[in-house]
Amino acid sequence: MVRINWDEFKEFKQHSIKSDNFGKLIDFLRSYYNLKTTLDLYETLSNDETGEMMLKKRNITNDESFTDYMFHNE
């Protein structure tokens, strides 16, 4: 299982043009860890304390709601 390296994310987000930290984090997970599927992204976020808080803030409770979020916001 992937553990999010928050120090690397802080460096990554300095170079991102997105204004939303959640979008930046998703881009980071895709590029740094080469995560491609919404299930991999969701599982990584849901197994991290900060990632889980970000999911809850957006009312994302499972892989299906994460996929819906990605479809409507990416």
> Pick the residue with more confidence: 11 or 73?
11
A 10 A CB-CB count for 25 gives: 24
Q: What is the pLDDT of residues 15-67, one digit of tens each?
A: 999 889 999 999 999 999 999 999 999 999 999 999 999 999 999 999 999 99
**What DSSP string describes 11-72?**
HHHTT---S-HHHHHHHHHHHHS---SHHHHHHHHHTSHHHHHHHHHTT--SHHHHHHHHHH
Total-model pTM: 0.91
